[in-house]
Structure 1
Amino acid sequence: DDATWILTSAFIIFTMQSGFGLLESGMATRRNEVNIMMKNAIDVIFGGLLYWAFGYGISFGTSKGSNGFTGWGSFFLDPDDDTMGTEFSKFTFQASFATTATTIVSGAMAERTKLHAYIIFCLTNTLVYSFPAHWVWADNGWLKQLHVVDVAGVGPVHLVGGVTALIAAVMLKPRYGRFDSKQQLKSSSPVNSLLGLFILWWGWLGFNCGSTFGISGGKWKLAAKAAATTIMASCGGGITSFIISYLFHNKKVNVRIITNGILGSLVSITGICAVTYCWSAIIIGSIGAIVEASGEALLVKLKIDDPVGATSVHFFCSIWGLLCCGLFARFDNIQMFSAYTGLFLGGGFELLGIQCLAIASIIGWSAIISYINLKLLDFVIGLRVDVEDELLGADVSEH
């Protein structure tokens, strides 16, 4: 692995925290902007600490006791001089993934969650990500042994984050006044949301290209392909989102529809970015935008309040993204990201079955652990702020 490439990619991924902060604060109401930005800082501060102490070892520890379900060892990571370059570069890269999985959830919990409860949630939620990361990417992970395809974390990052976001949104119930009319509560700054999108777009290239773990020994070909397919998927998703907005929003360009549609297309391509074609990436991204818009409409119909659309972007689109790996993946003889060929490219149903198993197992794990985690927090200290504080706004009541 190329440590320089991995570290550079990790630094790029780290900027996604800024993107999420701007996106979420721009979509939320004006009285909660500071609180949302602070929660994104909390994701890194507390989530990063727990990932260093325990999460990395659970994901990639190779000591005695490591098995298909969990890693063991490398807790409180401090490797010796011989291995510190490899270990610390990998840790920094993976820590940026782990904190992103929690940041996804913060958007669904926005405007009605106690700050101290959220801090404790960050500490525990990092570990929810760590187990699926082991299953998918560790050499002895049980899904890795089955040759699951997930280049850049559509399962461990986006599906885990999306499931947890859905559980949190249901448990917290809607914001006060959210469904009194058919309109969203007024966003504070669509401009900030678009700025957040651009930063996330940039970060996603580091996310997907960095997951090739180098540019030497032929890996540069996979990195270049990941960049091209990521861009093409977002182009397909963006165009589709414009059409959706025009058809279903009085022939106007709706910022939320465009922004979340592009993000949905980026989630959709994440798992397969290095092992598919550009034409299939456009299809994947276009359908991803449709999946995102349909998911958001379903949540509104069910009166599940997700202020920024985290569930529709990350939950629904990550399921589609994992399925795409079973449909459009090419065989890869460089990094062995894919040991099979997807169904639509002449392969059989075996890879699609493995991808479905990954979807079911990650959803099951994330839903059960997240529910227990959030329920305990709600019972012990309470998750939701009082109505008075909610109407006043967290920027005043918490800061």
Structure 2
Amino acid sequence: MRIALFFCVLVALVVGCLAECAGDCIEFRKEVYALREELDARLRRLEDRSISERRELQTSLSSSFFLAEVEALHERDVSIASALDTIWLCMCASIAALMHGGFAMLETGTCRARNASNLLMKNLLNVCVGTIGWWLCGWAFAYGDLKYDLFGTTGFASSNLLIIADGHIRPVESCSGESCQSNLIQWFFQWVFCTTAVTIVSGGVAERVRSLTYAGFAFFMSSIIYPGVVAWTWGGGWLSATLDVGFTDFAGSCIVHVVGGVGALTGAIVLGARRGRFEDPAAFEPHSLPLVVLGTLMLWFGWYGFNCGSTLALHDDVMAAQAAQVAVNTTLSAAAGGITVFLFRFVLSRKYDVCGLCNGILAGLVSITAGCSNMDCGNALAVGSLGGLIYQCFSMSLQRLQIDDPVDASAVHGACGVWGAMAAVIFDWGEGFSYFHGSSGFQCVGDAGICETGLVAKALAAQLIFVTAVLSWVLSLSTIVLLLLALSGFLRIEQSTEEMGIDAMEHAQTKAYDIGEDGIPDAIEQRHAPIRKCRRHSVC
């Protein structure tokens, strides 16, 4: 009985212990499950944070890489655009340089055969001496760092073309957001304009000026007179912002051609007429029309480099379209000027005048040069036609005043240059007189793409100031220098030299032509002597 009771008590204790242990196990298991869930949650949060950090790191690396790639592509685009602009300006400057050959042919053919060698030499000297003047101080005065908005003060002897440092040489460049252009290519392109302005003077003083004296004047023009005008205008001087509008002269009707034309007129007046010029006009007729026509065509072709190249860049479609517009307007104006003068002279004399046709073409070219980028084709025709009439009237006025300009340089370049400068504003392709484009080409003048109205009157006033300033500067300096040379006796050749011909008296090659025993030009002059006599007396 006692044993049975003991076993019962023992079983009861074991069962109670097992029950208590079971309860503790359940609680322990719950705690383990809770800890596991918390651990899993923390692991998930840690994994999410790791993924987020990896994504942020990946995004950061991608942005840096992308920006670097964009910058590299931009630099490549700028490099390509710069190369295209340089090629464009090199090509246009080379084409425009052919104009010197045109001037030489035109001037030689227009004058007498006895002075042909001298005229050819003088045109070559123009280019050579003008180049030295432009290199020495012309470039510096025109495009150096401006002082008082009047003259440049840096770059003498073209010292600002290259940078030499630590054994490395690189060109000096000026950059916009789209391309960079070196001073080297700008120097070369603007050199053509400078020497062209100087060469124009040669025609007005032909057949009676001393060669070495003229070379000295050409140096003065290329180093002082012409650079002064450029500094005020294209160089960013005081005329570039006159009346908050500035001047309008895309390729140099006034800056180049008026400078040369006024210099030619001043030289013709100071030198006086060639002996016998107005007593026996027939003796001074052009001796070679083939040379005159060849020179005219060379000038016409070279003018495309002159005008189209004045876009100064060709790295996008807008600039390409502008260059094309310039080419079309240049062509139309030249044709209109030539036809106008040709018909005018035919009506007056009932005879075909080849020289009139040639000079009419040149008058149209000069007239359109300032506004070739900011007027439509119909207006270009009108500008060329009116330029031809202005040339003809000015040429007739010179003859009436007995001012001897052998090639009509002052009429073609001076008078038509002034007209072209004013026509660039009058015929601007803004909507009537509401808007104004000027030197902006396709884009009207305004802010934030909004065209400003009421600018035409201010533009005309600014243009008058511009033309007056150029005329005053060139006329005053040219007159002072040429008068001093004339008074010193170093300007005009001797009378005996003028009568015998400069070639025979001063040149190693005494004849520019050596065809046959007597020479074709002299034989032609002798055969035409009776015709000239008939013309003088109006009886045949």
Shorter-chain TM band: over 0.9
Summarize the Cα distance change of 1:131–1:31 in structure 2 as closer, same or farther, 3 Å threshold: same
Alpha-carbon offset, residue 214 of structure 1: 1.5
- The question of whether the paired residues in 1 share the 8 Å contact of 2:247 and 2:466 is answered with yes
Give the 5 Å matches for 1:332-371. Answer: 336=440, 348-371=456-479
**Partner in structure 2 of residue 200 of structure 1:** 299
Q: Does 1:226 align with 2:326?
A: yes
**Partner in structure 1 of residue 450 of structure 2:** none
Alpha-carbon offset, residue 377 of structure 1: 2.1
**Partner in structure 2 of residue 96 of structure 1:** 192
Cα distance between partner residues in 2 of 1:358 and 1:398: 42
Deviations 1:354-399 (A, max 9, x none): 1111111100000000011112222335211111100111111221
**Partner in structure 1 of residue 367 of structure 2:** 268
Q: Does 1:29 align with 2:125?
A: no
Stretches of structure 1 that go unaligned for 5 or more consecutive residues are none
How many residues align? The count is 392
Deviations 1:202-244 (A, max 9, x none): 0101100000012123211111111000001011112212211
1:282 partner amino acid: L
1:129 to 217, 226, 246: 226
Percent identical among aligned pairs is 34
**Partner in structure 2 of residue 86 of structure 1:** 182
2:157 to 76, 84, 104: 76
- The question of whether the paired residues in 1 share the 8 Å contact of 2:271 and 2:486 is answered with no
**Partner in structure 1 of residue 356 of structure 2:** 257
Give the 5 Å matches for 1:103-122. Answer: 103-122=199-218
| Residue aligned with 2:278, SS | coil
Cα distance between partner residues in 2 of 1:212 and 1:246: 38
Q: Does 1:49 align with 2:132?
A: yes
Alpha-carbon offset, residue 135 of structure 1: 1.2
Stretches of structure 2 that go unaligned for 5 or more consecutive residues are 1-81, 164-169, 174-180, 431-435, 447-452, 508-540
The runs of at least 4 aligned residues of structure 1 exceeding 6 Å deviation read 332-335
Alpha-carbon offset, residue 349 of structure 1: 1.4
- The question of whether the paired residues in 2 share the 8 Å contact of 1:6 and 1:89 is answered with yes
Deviations 1:6-31 (A, max 9, x none): 11111111110000000000000010
- The question of whether the paired residues in 2 share the 8 Å contact of 1:30 and 1:188 is answered with yes
Cα distance between partner residues in 2 of 1:21 and 1:375: 26
- The question of whether the paired residues in 2 share the 8 Å contact of 1:212 and 1:335 is answered with no
**Partner in structure 1 of residue 521 of structure 2:** none
| Residue aligned with 1:76, SS | helix
| Larger radius of gyration between Structure 1 and Structure 2 | 2
Alpha-carbon offset, residue 339 of structure 1: 6.0
Q: TM-score, normalised by structure 1?
A: 0.94
Alpha-carbon offset, residue 144 of structure 1: 1.1
Give the number of the structure whose residues are more often strand, by fraction.
2
1:137 partner amino acid: W
| Residue aligned with 2:151, SS | coil
Cα distance between partner residues in 2 of 1:68 and 1:59: 11
| Residue aligned with 1:211, SS | helix
**Partner in structure 2 of residue 169 of structure 1:** 268
- The question of whether the paired residues in 2 share the 8 Å contact of 1:325 and 1:352 is answered with no
Alpha-carbon offset, residue 186 of structure 1: 2.5
Summarize the Cα distance change of 1:36–1:66 in structure 2 as closer, same or farther, 3 Å threshold: same
Cα distance between partner residues in 2 of 1:33 and 1:323: 36
2:481 partner amino acid: N
Deviations 1:290-329 (A, max 9, x none): 1111110000000000001101101110110011012012
**Partner in structure 2 of residue 16 of structure 1:** 99
Summarize the Cα distance change of 1:185–1:335 in structure 2 as closer, same or farther, 3 Å threshold: closer
Give the 5 Å matches for 1:125-164. Answer: 125-126=221-222, 127-139=224-236, 141-146=237-242, 147-164=246-263
Cα distance between partner residues in 1 of 2:415 and 2:100: 22
Q: TM-score, normalised by structure 2?
A: 0.70
Alpha-carbon offset, residue 352 of structure 1: 1.0
Alpha-carbon offset, residue 350 of structure 1: 1.3
